[in-house]
């Protein structure tokens, strides 16, 4: 895909340096109150305790960190297991050309016009180039996020994978083991609050049918995996799933001269109505979490029931190839390895492929998250709080965490694990509780303030007595009588 080149106007007068200078002025003018205020803590052994540890350095984690820094919560760290600039899917397994969302959406900017993607784009490519943009190229979104991280000075530790959280009652914090991905020594970080900003699969994992996962790994891959598409030249490829990522992977295989690509899905017809476009209004984005449980359930269940369709350009990118074949009402009933090929059986026959690619999305199950191994038994799920009418049951929704108003976990049994409210699930798992939040650009404008406010609220209320003591000792005189 061809990316835009900087315009002469942008280079000469309104380039990135000029934007950054204006943004620095904005940040200075809006910096009230200026002082850091959270009271520092150390463990009994003397180790410094972070106020907030954010696990995940993609768009959500970076945006949460900046929101906290603006609120003068400065003892914050973001950890991510990827290399700098490669957090999130944009330059790894995302194989579309552009983002799915409209270009005018905001969120990470926290309502600062000079920090929004449009301003960053126009500073480099010009206003006229922006007018010509239909959807945002994914590589540029990744570059914007990398600039965002560097310019705002967000503290990020890359190549760092967080392990299982455990509550340390004697210190009033979580212990979080950190494994270095680049050969460094392991360590344990301490944090009063933890934000899980681990993406679409952050409340479960990417799912593959067991019939496929039992095959030799050379015969199959998930859309989430690194795939050698060059090796598929002249090969037969079978794809499972009707979502955007399945079509993206089909397109790349076809563009790399796969002999033929067959895409299979369960539905009678592909979804053609995008419920996510319906949802892009203030009422839903801002107030879904204010609805009663029964209403929150039925709204999200309906959105999931409608299905996530491949966008217009994604669909036609694949359909442009005569060797692309769609198979409706064709769930995979079995998959077997036969003489170095994969044989897939559907209700309409058996097909032989050199490679299978699974695009069946994610499954929600907190038991699958390594960060939550020590906590999951006490976390309240929707099935623990709400029983829908028989005609509205939904197994996956029932496994979603039942979150508080700021994305915080709730106890399954009140009083057993009150510390769980100090862990915030800013992932796609918050969908039934709070609507579009973590892992959804379209919901960030309204979800980020809720999350940041929840964190600052806890940090203040927990230390209210200590803050009162500082008030009692406050003796700075305004004048001498």
Check the CA dihedral 315-320-323-327 and report its sign. positive
Same fold? 35-101+136-203+364-465, 208-272+309-360: yes
Contacts of 208 (CB under 8 A, 6+ apart): 220, 222, 358, 360
- Name the average pLDDT for the chain: 95
270, 310 Cβ separation under 8 angstroms: yes
Q: Architecture of 35-101+136-203+364-465 per CATH? A: 3-Layer(bba) Sandwich (3.50)
- Per-residue pLDDT band for 437 (boundaries 50, 70, 90) equals confident
Whether residue 14 is predicted with pLDDT greater than 80 in this model: the reply is: no
Q: How far from 440 is each of 60, 86, 317, 445, CA to CA, in Å? A: 8, 18, 24, 10
- Please give the average per-residue pLDDT across 88-103, as a whole number: 91
pLDDT at site 140:
96
Whether residue 8 is predicted with pLDDT greater than 90 in this model: the reply is: no
pLDDT at site 13:
45
pLDDT at site 438:
78
Q: What is the pLDDT of residues 270-315, one digit of tens each?
A: 989 999 899 999 999 999 999 999 999 999 999 999 988 888 899 9
123, 19 Cβ separation under 8 angstroms: yes
What are the residue ranges spanned by the domains of the chain?
35-101+136-203+364-465, 208-272+309-360
pLDDT at site 46:
97
- Would you tell me how many other CB atoms lie within 10 Å of the CB of residue 413? 10
260-282 as b/e: b if 16+ CB within 10 A? bbbbbbeeeebbeebbbeebeee
Q: What's phi and psi for 472, nearest 5 deg?
A: -65, -30
- Per-residue pLDDT band for 6 (boundaries 50, 70, 90) equals low
Output the six-digit token pair for 173. Answer: 């914090």
Q: What is the pLDDT of residues 314-342, one digit of tens each?
A: 999 999 999 999 999 999 999 999 999 99
Output the six-digit token pair for 468. Answer: 């009162």
Angle, alpha carbons 107-111-115 (nearest 5°): 80
204, 229 Cβ separation under 8 angstroms: no
401, 425 Cβ separation under 8 angstroms: yes
- Please give the average per-residue pLDDT across 257-261, as a whole number: 98
What pTM did the predictor assign? 0.95
What phi-psi label fits residue 138: left (phi over 0), alpha (psi between -120 and 50 degrees) or beta?
A: alpha
As a whole number of angstroms, the distance between CA 422 and CA 173 comes to: 9
- Per-residue pLDDT band for 68 (boundaries 50, 70, 90) equals very high
CATH of region 208-272+309-360, choose from 3.30.420.40, 3.50.50.60, 3.30.379.10, 3.40.50.1820: 3.50.50.60
As a whole number of angstroms, the distance between CA 129 and CA 86 comes to: 26
318, 254 Cβ separation under 8 angstroms: yes
Q: What's phi and psi for 283, nearest 5 deg?
A: -55, -55
Q: Which residue has the tokens 């107030």?
A: 287
Whether residue 174 is predicted with pLDDT greater than 70 in this model: the reply is: yes
3-state SS, residue 278: helix
Computed on alpha carbons and rounded to an integer, the radius of gyration of the chain in Å comes to: 24
């Amino acid at each position: 895909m061809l990316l835009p080149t900087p315009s002469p106007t942008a280079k000469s007068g309104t380039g990135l340096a000029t934007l950054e200078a204006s943004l620095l002025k904005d940040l200075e003018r809006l910096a009230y109150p200026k002082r850091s205020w959270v009271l520092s803590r150390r463990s009994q052994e003397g180790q410094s305790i972070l106020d907030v540890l954010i696990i995940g350095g993609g768009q959500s984690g970076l945006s949460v960190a900046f929101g906290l820094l603006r609120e003068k919560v400065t003892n914050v760290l973001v950890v991510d297991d990827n290399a700098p600039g490669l957090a999130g899917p944009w330059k790894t397994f995302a194989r579309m050309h552009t983002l799915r969302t409209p270009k005018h959406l905001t969120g990470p900017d926290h309502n600062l016009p000079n920090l929004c993607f449009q301003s960053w784009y126009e500073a480099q490519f010009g206003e006229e180039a922006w007018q010509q943009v239909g959807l945002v190229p994914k590589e540029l979104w990744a570059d914007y996020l990398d600039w965002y991280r560097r310019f705002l000075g967000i503290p990020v530790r890359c190549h760092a994978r967080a392990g299982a959280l455990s509550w340390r009652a004697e210190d009033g914090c979580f212990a979080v083991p950190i494994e270095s991905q680049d050969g460094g020594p392991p360590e344990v970080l301490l944090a009063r609050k933890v934000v899980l900003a681990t993406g679409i699969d952050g409340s479960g994992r990417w799912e593959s049918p067991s019939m496929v996962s039992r095959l030799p790994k050379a015969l199959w891959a998930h859309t989430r995996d690194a795939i050698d598409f060059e090796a598929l030249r002249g090969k037969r490829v079978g794809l499972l799933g009707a979502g955007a990522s399945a079509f993206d992977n089909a397109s790349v295989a076809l563009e790399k001269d796969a002999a033929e690509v067959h895409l299979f899905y369960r539905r009678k017809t592909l979804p053609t109505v995008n419920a996510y476009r319906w949802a892009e209004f203030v009422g839903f984005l801002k107030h879904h979490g204010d609805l009663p449980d029964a209403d929150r359930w039925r709204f999200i269940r309906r959105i999931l029931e409608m299905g996530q369709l491949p966008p217009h350009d994604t669909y036609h990118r694949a359909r442009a190839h005569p060797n692309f074949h769609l198979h409706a009402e064709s769930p995979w009933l079995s998959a077997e390895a036969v003489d170095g090929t994969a044989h897939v059986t559907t209700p309409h026959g058996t097909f032989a492929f050199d490679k299978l690619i699974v695009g069946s999305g994610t499954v929600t199950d907190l038991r699958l998250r390594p960060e939550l191994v020590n906590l999951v038994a006490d976390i309240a799920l929707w099935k623990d709080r709400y029983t829908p009418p028989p005609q509205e049951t939904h197994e996956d929704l029932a496994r979603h965490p039942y979150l508080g108003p700021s994305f915080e976990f709730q106890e399954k049994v009140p009083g057993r694990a009150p510390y769980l409210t100090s862990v915030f699930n800013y992932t796609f798992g918050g969908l039934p509780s709070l609507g579009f939040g973590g892992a959804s650009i379209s919901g960030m404008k309204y979800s980020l303030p809720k999350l940041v406010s929840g964190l600052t609220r806890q940090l203040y209320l927990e230390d209210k007595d200590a803050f009162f003591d500082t008030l009692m000792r406050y003796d700075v005189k305004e004048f001498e009588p």
